[in-house]
Amino acid sequence: MVQSMPKESNELNEVDKLLVQLLVILIGSWQETGFGRIEIQSEKIKHDRIAVTILGSTHYRYVISDEDLKKWWRVGKKLNKNTIE
């Protein structure tokens, strides 16, 4: 079971969208064939932007800002802290 991360707001940022798309591709491929391959490429395209491309039968590209990543990281740390306690 995949546990979603608590949100600081109800709005999905680019990191959330990327992870949702990754899950959709994996679940779809597992349902259709029971196996599959996904490749993830990332590159820094600007000083505060990372381009992430998900390669499968269809390709998806997301651009993540430093702020998106920091916000998601903070929420993840809170989740891990609550899980450990």
- Block mean pLDDT (10 aa), the chain, length 85: 52 86 84 80 92 81 87 82 67
CA distance linking residue 53 with residue 61, whole number of Å = 4
Look at residue 64 in the predicted model and tell me its pLDDT. 87
Question: At CB < 8 A and 24+ separation, what contacts does 9-15 make?
Answer: 13/64, 13/68, 13/71, 13/72, 14/62, 14/63, 14/64, 14/65, 14/68, 15/64, 15/68, 15/69, 15/72
> Which residue's structure tokens are 């949100």?
7
pTM here is 0.59
> Which residue's structure tokens are 């450990």?
84
Look at residue 85 in the predicted model and tell me its pLDDT. 57
Look at residue 51 in the predicted model and tell me its pLDDT. 93
Q: List the domain boundaries for the chain.
A: 14-84
